[in-house]
C-alpha cells in the first residue's frame, strides 16, 4: 500500500558532500545525553541538539505530521516527548519542554515506535519482557505481549499493512512479527542470529533489514522472513540501529562512534556521515516520506471504539481493544468502565493490580508515592483508579474495583 517515494540520484548522494538535491533527509538520533538532528549531506558539520540534558536516551521516534518527538530514557525508566519546530530546510530546530508520557511499570524501555496512522505509541522493555501500546499521550495503556519474550529490543511498525516487527536477543535470539493489534504472532527469523539490534523496513519494496552486533552483519529479507540476503558483512564492530531512505541505508555503530551509510541493495559505497559522537544509539530518517499519510480505519471516529483502536493485518484491518485488565464487551467496540474483580499485590517497592476479568492476568503497577518496604495495603474505592490510603491491609471491593 505504500507508494514508492520520488528518488534522488544514488551516485550523487553517496559519493559527494556538496549540497544535495531536494529530498535528502535529516537524521534524528539518540546520543544518550541528548537527541540530535544532522543533515545527511553535511554530516561532518556539527549536529543540532534537539533535546539536551538527558540521562540515558536509548530509543527515539517521531510523528512527523504532528511535530512530536518521543524517546525512552533507561536510567529514568520513562518515555518522554516534546513538540518540535524545524526552521527552514536544514537541521535547525526548536523543541519545547519535555513531557513525561509513560513512567510507571518501566524498567528498561529499549525499543520505541510511533504509529503515525493510528496515532499510537509502541515500546519494548527488555527487563519486564513486555511489548506495550498506548495512546500518544500515554493513556489507555495495554500490554500486547508478555509471554515467550526474553529481552525484546528493537521494534518497527508497518501501519499501512497493520504489522509490527521486533528483535529479541535472549536465550533464543529471533525476530518476530505480529499484527499491531496483538494477533497473528509468528517467528520469522531464528537462524544465524545472535544479537539482533537494529531493525528497519523498506515499505515500498516490502523488505525487512536488521543488524547483528555479534555476527557483524546487516541482512534483509521479505516481510515474512523468506528470501534472506546479505547486505553488509565485515567492518561492522558493533552496529546498533539502522534506518532507510530511498536507496540509502544509515546505521549507528558503538565502537566507531559514527553514522555510516551504504547502498541498501549491496551495502557498497559506504562512507561516514557523522562522526565523533558520544554514544550513538537509535537513529531515524526524519522525513515525511518515511511516514506517508494513508487512509486508516482508525482515523474516522476512532473506528467507533470506546478506547483503543489498533490497526490489524486482518479484515476489517483494525480491532478495538481495552487498557490492560479491562474487559471488551460483546459488541466488540465498547470497554467496561474498569475492572470489576481485582487482585491487589503488595511488593517491597511497588503495588500491583491484577484484573480477574480478563484471561491474561497481567499485573499493572499502581502509581503511588515512593514505597520503601510495603507489606500490605488498603484502597479507597470509587472511580476508575483506586487510590492508596495506607499500607496496612489488603481489601478488595468487587463493586467499585
Between strands 99-102 and 78-86, the pairing is antiparallel
Residue 294 near residue 301 (C-beta atoms within 8 A): no
Contacting residues for 44 by C-beta, under 8 A, at least 6 apart: 17, 272, 274, 275
Element (H, E) at 15: helix 10-15
CATH no., domain 10-290: 2.120.10.30
**265-320 pLDDT, tens digit each:** 555 555 565 555 667 889 999 999 999 999 999 999 999 999 999 999 999 999 99
**204-222 pLDDT, tens digit each:** 999 999 999 899 899 999 9
**110-168 pLDDT, tens digit each:** 999 999 999 999 999 999 999 999 999 999 999 999 999 999 999 999 999 999 999 99
Interatomic CA distance for residues 335 and 320, integer angstroms = 9
Which pLDDT value is given to residue 96? Answer: 78
**375-385 pLDDT, tens digit each:** 444 454 444 44
Which pLDDT value is given to residue 326? Answer: 92
Which pLDDT value is given to residue 389? Answer: 40
Please report, for the chain, the start and end positions of each structural domain, with discontinuous segments joined by +.
10-290, 342-390
Strands (E) in 275-362, as ranges, are: 283-286, 308-311, 318-321, 342-346, 351-355
Interatomic CA distance for residues 344 and 385, integer angstroms = 13
Residue 248 near residue 231 (C-beta atoms within 8 A): no
Amino acid at each position: 500500500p505504500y507508494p514508492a517515494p520520488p528518488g534522488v540520484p544514488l551516485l550523487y548522494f553517496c559519493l559527494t558532500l556538496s549540497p544535495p538535491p531536494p529530498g535528502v533527509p535529516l537524521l534524528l538520533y539518540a546520543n544518550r545525553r541528548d537527541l540530535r538532528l544532522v543533515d545527511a549531506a553535511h554530516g561532518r558539520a556539527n549536529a543540532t541538539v534537539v533535546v539536551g540534558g538527558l540521562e540515558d536516551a536509548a530509543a527515539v521516534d517521531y510523528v512527523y505530521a504532528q511535530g512530536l518527538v518521543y524517546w525512552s530514557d533507561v536510567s529514568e525508566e520513562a518515555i518522554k516527548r516534546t513538540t518540535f519546530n524545524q526552521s527552514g530546510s536544514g537541521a535547525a530546530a526548536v523543541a519545547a519542554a519535555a513531557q513525561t508520557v509513560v513512567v510507571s511499570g518501566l524498567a528498561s524501555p529499549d525499543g520505541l515506535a510511533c504509529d503515525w496512522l493510528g496515532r499510537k505509541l509502541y515500546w519494548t522493555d527488555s527487563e519486564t519482557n513486555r511489548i506495550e501500546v498506548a495512546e500518544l499521550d500515554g493513556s489507555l495503556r495495554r500490554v500486547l505481549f508478555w509471554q515467550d519474550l526474553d529481552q525484546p529490543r528493537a521494534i518497527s511498525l508497518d501501519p499501512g499493512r497493520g504489522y509490527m516487527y521486533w528483535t529479541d536477543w535472549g536465550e533464543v535470539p529471533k525476530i518476530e512479527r505480529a499484527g499491531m493489534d496483538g494477533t497473528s504472532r509468528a517467528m520469522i527469523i531464528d537462524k544465524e542470529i545472535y544479537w539482533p539490534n537494529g531493525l528497519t523496513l523498506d515499505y515500498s519494496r516490502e523488505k525487512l533489514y536488521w543488524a547483528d552486533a555479534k555476527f557483524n552483519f546487516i541482512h534483509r529479507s521479505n516481510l515474512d522472513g523468506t528470501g534472506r540476503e546479505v547486505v553488509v558483512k565485515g567492518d561492522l564492530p558493533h552496529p546498533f540501529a539502522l534506518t532507510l531512505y530511498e536507496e540509502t541505508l544509515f546505521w549507528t555503530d558503538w565502537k566507531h562512534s559514527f553514522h555510516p551509510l551504504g547502498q541498501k541493495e549491496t551495502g557498497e559505497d559506504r562512507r561516514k556521515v557523522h562522526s565523533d559522537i558520544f554514544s550513538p544509539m537509535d537513529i531515524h530518517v526524519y522525513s515525511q516520506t518515511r511516514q506517508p499519510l494513508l487512509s486508516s480505519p482508525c482515523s474516522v471516529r476512532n473506528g467507533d471504539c470506546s478506547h483503543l483502536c489498533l490497526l490489524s493485518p486482518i479484515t476489517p484491518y483494525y480491532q478495538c481493544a481495552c487498557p490492560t485488565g479491562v474487559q471488551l464487551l460483546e459488541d466488540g467496540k465498547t470497554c467496561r468502565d474498569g475492572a470489576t474483580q481485582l487482585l491487589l499485590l503488595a511488593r517491597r517497592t511497588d503495588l500491583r493490580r491484577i484484573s480477574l476479568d480478563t484471561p491474561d492476568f497481567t499485573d499493572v503497577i499502581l502509581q503511588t508515592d515512593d514505597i520503601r518496604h510495603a507489606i500490605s495495603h488498603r484502597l479507597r474505592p470509587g472511580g476508575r483508579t483506586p487510590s492508596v490510603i495506607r499500607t496496612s491491609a489488603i481489601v478488595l471491593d468487587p463493586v467499585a474495583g
